[in-house]
A = this chain, B = another copy of it.
């Protein structure tokens, strides 16, 4: 263990604090009351003088307050999110004061079904009142009050932890400056509810369960183990399981033709079940899964938009590409609701084969996202300073083509079209260079959309809010006229359905700036005319068969397009590649590229 201590928070103590008394019990969402309530928690790092560096970690179904470090020098495994929390790590305990508490109803120090019911002197068992995610968050708030915390820089959680994060932003909109919701949802899928129900069923079916009062007897270990096995399968992806186990046999090269565990995956699941029952309480499992099933933001608040509308948080929403329990589509629902409310939100769908559990296993990607998000929330002035820092970019080995898409000339001319202090959506924003310039030079409020995961991370690291999205799959639920400007720079000719994208941008933004290479340039015309082959120029350097430009258009084409769609062309700048001076004469013949400023006609 010693060697790990160097980049670990080291030895930490789980403390317990009394947040509710028996005399003044907490009213729960069900209407019932509960008291006394103790909360187990750990803290890492130090509260700074400004008291603006508090980060709250919310744990998932089977987690606890022990998120980082070691509870004793002999402890073999560190806290459950050791890879993310510590000095110099993504959630840097040199900078931030980190708190993690076991939630209400847990079985690791906070009051729950296995706690002693003061009325009977025995464990509550099934007499424990039903609680919700809302109740958990209220208890966390009581803890923070006791600790004297007046604002959270950030609340972070994955899976069921993400549900608590969402609840925090809804229930305490002014208390939470930013929120990271990883691999989570505003409500479980029906499939997830079904799996939860079968797990509870397996526990209750165990003869050892004894109606929940198993504490003096044999516990429902087999039932709880089966529930855990079911859960564990849903936390992994088939791809991940295939990589890890395949059809590998446990102790043999050939089938035994008996009924014992033969495949490695069987033995692994059995082990997972057995070790789980040693540390977890069956009643807690029943109550907590019930709280997850109940969580339904839209159901409780009328709609997601209504729920999130009062929030004052910056959001980072993260999903895992191979997660089938809390899917990327569910994260996109959160994202879309936040976009519809005009909230400041970034989103990344991490490409990972590890399924739902990846939020515990992808410190590199998730770490970069969380670190960038946290640091730029805490220190937003850093944005301009980060402009010049290309090292992170270089480290990520960005493809040249991604840069080639845009030219500096393009940037300067686009910038000249944008009013100071306006709001801007940059579609296909790349590494965020144009947005950074606009923020620095024009004081705009800017957001981006980008398909490439590395570029998304880079944007977030430099403090730019960005959505990881393929615009061919739609632009999301932005409200009408959400922005003063939308920019589509060197992208229109590469999307599948330019008309759909262009119309949608005209809905989202008051003005749309489009730039594209001019297929009507004289070189193109002459090449086709005289040489009889598909044109290749500096601006259109590709061959007919490997071009990302799947649509070829000229200035004339775009003029007609705008006119047919009833779109007003406010400005049209025709330029050659090298010179910044716009071309006035015969632009469709002489321009290598064009920049249009367009808008809807009034009425």
Chain A positions near chain B (C-beta within 8 angstroms): 29-32, 126, 129-130, 187, 189-191, 193-195, 197-198, 200-202, 205-207, 222-223, 225-226, 229-230, 233, 236, 238, 241-242, 245-247, 255, 257-259, 261-263, 265-266, 269-270, 286, 290, 293-294, 296, 299, 324, 497-499, 519-520, 524-526, 528-529, 531-534, 544-547, 550-557, 560-561, 588-589
Q: Which residues of B contact A236 (CB under 8 A)?
A: 191
8 further A-B pairs in the complex, CB-CB below 8 A; given A193-B266, A202-B202: A130-B258, A187-B247, A193-B247, A194-B229, A194-B265, A226-B226, A525-B529, A544-B561
Chain B contacts for A552, CB-based, 8 A: 534, 544, 552
Name A526's closest neighbour in chain B (CB-CB): B529
* Contacts A190-B238, A294-B255 given; does A247 touch B299 at CB 8 Å: yes
Most buried by B among A29, A189, A197, A498: A197
Also in contact, A257 and B30, with CB within 8 A (given A230-B230, A265-B194, A552-B534): yes
Are A551 and B551 in touch, CB under 8 angstroms?
no
CB distance from A282 to the nearest CB of B (A): 12
- Known contacts: A190-B241, A528-B525. The answer to whether A545 contacts B553 by CB under 8 A is yes
In the complex, the answer to whether A524 meets B528 with C-beta atoms within 8 Å is yes
Across the interface, A226 reaches (CB within 8 A) one of B202, B266, B554, namely: B202
Among residues of B, the one whose C-beta sits closest to the C-beta of A30 is B257
Partner of A233, one of B191, B206, B258: B191
Complex Cα–Cα for A553 and B535 (A): 9
CB pair B544–A556 under 8 Å, yes or no, is no
Min CB distance A247 to B, Å, is 6
Q: How far is the CB of A101 from chain B (nearest CB, A)?
A: 23
Q: Is A556's CB under 8 angstroms from B532's CB?
A: yes
Contacts of A257 in B (CB 8 A): 29-32, 129-130
Identify which of B207, B265, B546 contacts A497 (C-beta below 8 A).
B546
Could you jot down 11 A-B contacts, CB within 8 Å?
A190-B238, A190-B241, A191-B236, A194-B241, A194-B266, A197-B261, A528-B554, A532-B556, A533-B557, A534-B557, A544-B553
Report B-chain residues with C-beta under 8 Å of the C-beta of A187.
247
Asked if B499 and A269 make an inter-chain contact with CB atoms under 8 angstroms apart, the answer reads no
Residues on B with beta carbons closer than 8 Å to the beta carbon of A32: 257
Contact B190 A246 (CB under 8 A): yes
B554 & A198 in contact (Cβ 8 Å cutoff): no
- Report the bound CA distance from A122 to B242 in whole Å: 41
A552 CA / B551 CA spacing, docked (Å): 9
Q: In whole angstroms, what is the CA distance A37 to B520 when docked?
A: 80
Chain B residues within 8 Å of A195, by CB:
233
- Give the CA-CA distance A529 to B195 in the complex, in Å: 64
Residues on B with C-beta less than 8 A from A266 are: 193-194, 197
Q: Which residue of B lies closest to A327 (CB)?
A: B238
Inter-chain contact B191/A238, CB cutoff 8 Å? yes
Which residues of chain B come closer than 8 Å to A206, judged between CB atoms? 205
Chain B residues closer than 8 Å to A529, beta-carbon distance: 525-526, 528-529
Alpha-carbon distance between A173 and B270 when the two chains are bound, in angstroms? 40
A533 touches B545 (CB 8 A): no
Q: Does A198 contact B269, Cβ atoms closer than 8 Å?
A: yes
What CA separation (Å) do A246 and B188 show in the bound complex?
10
Chain B residues whose CB sits within 8 angstroms of the CB of A290 once the complex forms? 259
Residues on the B chain within 8 Å of A293, using CB: 262-263
Q: How far is the CB of A198 from chain B (nearest CB, A)?
A: 5
Ranked nearest first, the 8 interchain pairs of A and B with the lowest CB-CB distance are A30-B257, A550-B550, A205-B222, A190-B241, A498-B545, A197-B266, A532-B556, A130-B257
On whether the beta carbons of B226 and A205 are closer than 8 Å, the reply is yes
CA distance A101 to B588 in the complex (A): 74
Looking at A262, A266, A499, A524, which has the most chain B CB atoms within 10 Å of its CB?
A266
Q: Tell me which residues across on chain B come within 8 A of A191, comparing CB atoms.
A: 233, 236, 238, 241
- Give the shortest distance, in Å, between A536 (CB) and chain B (any CB): 10
Which chain B positions have C-beta within 8 A of A233? 191, 194-195, 198
Contacts of A519 in B (CB 8 A): 528, 534
Residue from A190, A242, A255 having most chain B Cβ neighbours under 10 A: A190
Cβ of A58 to closest chain B Cβ, rounded Å: 22
Q: Are the C-beta atoms of A259 and B230 separated by less than 8 Å?
A: no
Known: A187-B247, A241-B194. A545 touches B556 (CB 8 A): no
Residues of B near A294 (CB, < 8 A) are 255
Asked if residues B226 and A532 are in contact (CB atoms below 8 Å), the reply is no
Residues in chain B near residue A545, CB distance under 8 A: 497-499, 551, 553, 561
Inter-subunit contact B589/A532 (CB<8 Å): yes
How far, in whole Å, are A294 and B255 apart by their CA atoms in the complex?
8
Given the interface contacts A190-B241, A299-B247, A524-B528, does A197 sit within 8 Å of B533 by beta carbon?
no
Q: How far is the CA of A257 from the CA of B29 in the complex (A)?
A: 9
